[in-house]
Structure 1
Amino acid sequence: MRLVQLSVPPDQRSGVVGVLDEYDFGYTIGEDDGAKEGHDLVTFVTPADAVEHVLNDLEAEGYDRSTYTVSLATEFAEFERIDDVQEQWAKTPNKISPNTLRSKSKDMRLNTRSYLWMMVLSAVVAVSGLLVGSPAVVVGSMIIAPIVSPMLTASVGAVRDDRAMVLDSVHQQLIGLGTAVVAASLFSLLVKQFFAVPTTLDITSMELVAGRVAPSILSVVIGLAAGAAGAYGLATKGSVSIVGVMIAAALIPVAAVTGIGVAWGRAITAVGSLTLLVLTMIAVNVGGYLMLRYLGYRPDEVDEGLFAVPGGREALVVGGTALVVVAIVVAVGIGSYGHTSFERTVNDAATEVLQQSEYENLGITQVSTEYTTVGPFGDPSTVTIALSRTNEQSYPDLPGVLDRRITERTGENVTVRVRYVDFVTSGDNENRANETGSSSSLAAAVERG
């Protein structure tokens, strides 16, 4: 529920009261108590879903909401027909008003000092979790990361045509994620310097790291979905804090992998994960913007808005920023498309090989690719395929078979590595026990004979 207060001129009072009567809202009128001299203070209680609708109807009656309009969260309210009103609006789309959306997104923002410290701490926790191989610790880094606010504020500013809001949000994103990368790099160097983990640690073979060293189509999908979910939660009665964990999940561990790559001198890992970080950041912003557009949010009026042409020094800053963003998007997009196409072909080739009868006990659990050069245009050098198996049979020829098939399908000369993950099923244990028991009985019978 919301408690809304309006400062209404006397000549508009009857129109405002008529609208509230049509909605069956409970209201009170304080004569000469408005924000301006001679105005009345009209206070009414409404479901949160109805705020936008009733304000639009009040504007149609001539009320200027910029005079004085306040909407407050209300724990409970009692008035005649309140149950009927709540039941009616519970069945309608629960989208909040545009002004509430803008205010809600800004209220989530921390002050700069708190924001940067929380980014540093989340990066340190993420690095620790990745290096010890603990998914639970990595999840903890996502929970404390305050990245949700600047990500969603950019989407709100874009859909409301608020250039200052967008630029401020983009600045906060770049500063925050840049701080996370630097903090992750410094902390990783300390960990390596004090031998907290082996200095010869093969970071690319670690499962939590390997999946965050290059862009893929799924990373784009994750970013788009996370941004869309965050925007939907912000624009409705959903929980933004919970969805914020999903947004942080797409960004903070990747920033930590970049720092680990820097500390271990793995330029390919560092730049690959940084490319993934930039691509995911863009995807989150785009996903949030598209969801808000889908929900019907638009600017009230276009006047020196987001796409208006600024002048002077501001024009240079905005234009330069736009060119850099476009260049990054194009470069990352082209490189990511090449990576995605290669990985899709590798998956198809590996599936074809493992569908052969001699490999029926094997299943693919993970496919990862390392690249020979830095940047999104690097050539693949090593393909690692993790396979599950339910017996102890060895397949010495399998890497060569996969190598030839992948080379044939992709046209790339790569090295294929195969890693096995062994599983023992209950049936296998029973069969082995029976075989052991039979062998023991036979041996005993022979001995007695």
Structure 2
Amino acid sequence: MRYLEITIPEGRRRAVLDVLDEASVDYVMSDETSGEKYSDVVRFPLPNRAVEPVLDDLAQVDIEDARVVVINAETVISEEFDAVRDRYSGGGAKGERTSRQVLRTKADEFTPAFPIYIVMLLISAVVATAGLLGDSPAVVVGSMVIAPLLGPALAASIGIVTGDDDLRREGFIYQFIGVAVVIAASVGLGLLARLAGFEPGGVDIVVVAELEERVSPNLLSILVALGAGIAGILSLTRGFSEAIVGVMIAAALIPPSAAVGITAAWGMDGAALGAFTLVVVNLLSINVAALGTLWVAGYRPQGMFDVSPTRRSTLTYATIFGVGLLVLAAPLASITLLDFQTTQMEASAEEGVESVLAAPEYDGIELDEIEVVLDDDYPVRSVDRIVITVTGREPGPNPPLADDLYRALADRIGEPLRVEVEYVVSEERGQQPDEQRVVPTVPES
């Protein structure tokens, strides 16, 4: 619930009291003694659901010069207050709903001062870059906790639907600068790591698991950002934990931005493009989800200390966000389709290998692993080869086995293939380890 204090301009006392009486609000009145252009001060409690409609009704009586203060109230013991609460609950749930006026204030509060914002993002970029290079999920999560992205990520959408141009502009500026700062910092840290000879997993930096999933994203990545935008608005409007939702928003922006910087530092333009596409898609997803959630929840300006309705501007921004998201989702759809094809290819290959190894001449040879290897053409990759690892006790290589495996896979998959067969000689327990690895390669047909 809220406690409101309104300083009434001279000549508007009766108009204000008529509105409060119509709403059955229990108020107290006192004189305003500052000697300015105000005559009275009225104070009264309101349930959360009543704040917005009461302020909208007050807007109709032309008190634009009034000063309004809204604060939290712990408890109100009053029969009149209970009647007002029942009235504005509509006979249904009495759940929380933050008014537009309070919502704008909360969005501004969650947006830190610009110098603090930049410093916190730099720290977050350092931690995220270290986590990605070190392939440490825990450190990457830590970078999300640090990033102060909740306010900026939601301020733009709140500014759009409430007609607050300053809030909208500040939200967009903070988002763009925030992403740019993280990318720039990660590029610098990546260059230092590369000059120092730090290349996890070998020459290809993208083999790091925490990095690989962000340079070749699929459509499922959009769901994270959409969920973050919806949850962010609900956290502000319904009183949920803002800190947890802030981590979710940071998860959609900080690691992919750091991945852009790292891959750019390593000169992997395709991988950097893939990660940057993910960053832009996530930004659009968060904004369109927040905008849609606000509009569906009914946060539309109607005049109180606000501006005229902003339906046109809201639809314009929603269209821009939506079209941009659809355009950038196309390469993500291709990657998603490739993931499904890869899974089906592995299943078909396993079926073909098992059918070959079931033959009597290959008794004692067992399938160890099947891997569909993709090329390095990020972000939209394609199948490079299929690697089949089998184990047996007889020394290799076994050319007939490789030929039979290739024909079995070609029949089931139905496309030109490059197949590599790794034949691993296993030893009986207790013997000296003398493993042989033979890699016959069947040329691409």
TM range (shorter): 0.7 to 0.9
Please state how far the C-alpha of 1:5 moved relative to its aligned partner: 0.8
The correspondence for 2:238, drawn from 230, 233, 236, is 236
For 1:364 and 1:131, the matched residues in 2 are separated by 28
Deviation at 1:160, TM superposition (A): 2.4
**Are residues 83 and 45 of structure 1, via their aligned partners in 2, closer, same or farther at CA, if it must alter by over 3 Å?**
closer
Distance 1:229 1:191, change over 3 A: same
Aligned residues: 393
- Following superposition, the deviation at residue 270 of structure 1 comes to 1.4
**1:19-30, aligned counterparts within 5 Å?**
19=22, 22=24, 25=26, 27-30=27-30
Query: What residue is the counterpart of 1:53 in the other structure?
Result: 53
Partner SS, residue 328 of structure 2: helix
CA distance in 2, matches of 1:364, 1:54: 68
Corresponding residue for 2:78?
Answer: 80
Equivalent residue for 1:205? 207
Give yes or no for contact 2:375–2:383 (8 Å, CA) kept in 1: yes
Deviation at 1:414, TM superposition (A): 7.5
CA distance in 1 between counterparts of 2:309 and 2:57 reads 27
Q: CA deviation at 1:121?
A: 1.0
Q: C-alpha separation between the residues in 1 aligned to 2:66 and 2:166? A: 23
Structure 1 residue aligned with 2:142: 140
Residues 122-133 of structure 1 aligned to structure 2 (within 5 Å)? 122-133=124-135
Q: How does 1:426-445 map to 2 (within 5 A)?
A: none
Q: What is the distance in 2 between the residues matched to 1:183 and 1:416?
A: 42
SS of match in other structure, 2:215? coil
Report the CA distance shift for 1:341/1:42 in structure 2 as closer, same or farther (over 3 A). Answer: same
Q: 2 CA distance for matches of 1:164 and 1:34?
A: 30
Q: Deviation of residue 205 (structure 1)?
A: 2.0
**Corresponding residue for 1:339?**
335
Aligned position for 1:69: 68
Partner of 2:362: none
Moved more, 330-339 or 286-295: 330-339
Map 1:85-100 → 2, pairs under 5 A: 91-100=93-102
Question: Which of 289, 293, 308 is the equivalent residue of 1:287?
Answer: 289
- The amino acid of 2:56's aligned partner reads N
Report the CA distance between 1:207 and its aligned residue.
1.6
- Show the 5 A alignment for 1:281-360: 281-300=283-302, 329=325, 331-351=327-347, 353=349, 358=354
| CA shift in 2, pair 1:333/1:198, >3 Å | closer
Conserved? CA contact 1:227–1:283, under 8 Å: yes
Structure 1 position 116, deviation (Å): 1.4
Shift in alpha-carbon separation, 1:273–1:384, aligned structure 2, 3 A: farther
Q: 1:311 maps to what in 2?
A: none
Q: Cα deviations across residues 37-78 of structure 1 (Å, max 9, x unaligned)?
A: 453211112233432233234456x3636522221233x344
Q: Structure 2 vs 1, CA of residues 414 and 86 (structure 1 numbering), >3 Å: closer, same or farther?
A: farther
Q: Which amino acid aligns with 1:71?
A: V
Cα gap change, 1:284/1:327 in structure 2, threshold over 3 Å: closer, same or farther?
closer
Alpha-carbon spacing, 1:41–1:58, altered in 2? closer, same or farther (3 Å): same
SS at match of 2:41: strand
CA distance in 2, matches of 1:384, 1:142: 37
Structure 1's 385 and 19: CA in aligned 2 closer, same or farther, altered over 3 A? Answer: farther
Q: 1:15 aligns with which of 7, 10, 18?
A: 18
Residue type matched to 1:67 in 2? A
Residue by residue, what CA displacement relative to the aligned partner does 1:3-48 show, whole Å, maximum 9, x if unpaired?
Answer: 211134332254144145x25x5x3211345996453211112233
- Residue of structure 1 in register with 2:41 after alignment: 41
* Worse-matched range after superposition: 286-295 or 156-165: 156-165
- Cα distance in 2 for partners of 1:163, 1:231 equals 19
Alpha-carbon deviations, 1:370-394, whole Å to 9, x = none?
Answer: 552x6x6x5525489999xxx9899
Q: Which residue of 2 aligns with 1:446?
A: none
Equivalent position of 1:160 in the other structure: 162
CA contact (8 A) 2:345 2:413 kept: no
Cα drift, residue 366 of structure 1:
11
Give, in whole Å, the separation in 1 of the partners of 2:388 and 2:146: 33
- Partners of 1:35 and 1:68 within 8 A in 2: no
- Give 1:249 deviation, angstroms: 0.6
Residue in structure 2 matched with residue 423 of structure 1 by the alignment: none
Q: Tell me, in whole angstroms, the C-alpha distance in 1 between the residues paired with 2:290 and 2:130.
A: 30
Q: Give yes or no for contact 2:6–2:68 (8 Å, CA) kept in 1.
A: yes
Distance 2:373 2:118 in 1: 33
Q: Which residue of 2 aligns with 1:262?
A: 264
CA displacement at 1:80 relative to structure 2: 2.6
Unaligned runs of 5+ in 1: 309-317, 420-435, 437-449
Q: Per-residue displacement from partner, 1:228-286 (whole Å, max 9, x unpaired)?
A: 11111122211222101001011111111112212222222211111111111111111
- Which digits, 9 at most, give the CA deviation of each residue in 1:115-154, with x for residues without a partner? 1121111011011112222211111100001122211111
Cα offset for 1:158? 2.3
Give the structure 1 partner of residue 274 of structure 2. 272
Q: Give the drift of 1:300.
A: 3.0
Backbone CA RMSD of aligned residues: 4.4
Letter in structure 1 aligned against 2:336: T
Q: Distance in 2 between matches of 1:120 and 1:268?
A: 25
Contact in 2 for aligned 1:28/1:44 (Cα 8 Å): yes
Residue 185 of structure 1 aligns with an amino acid whose one-letter code is V
Deviates more, 1:27-36 or 1:275-284: 27-36
Give 3-state SS (helix, strand or coil) of 1:212's partner: helix
* Identity level (%): 28
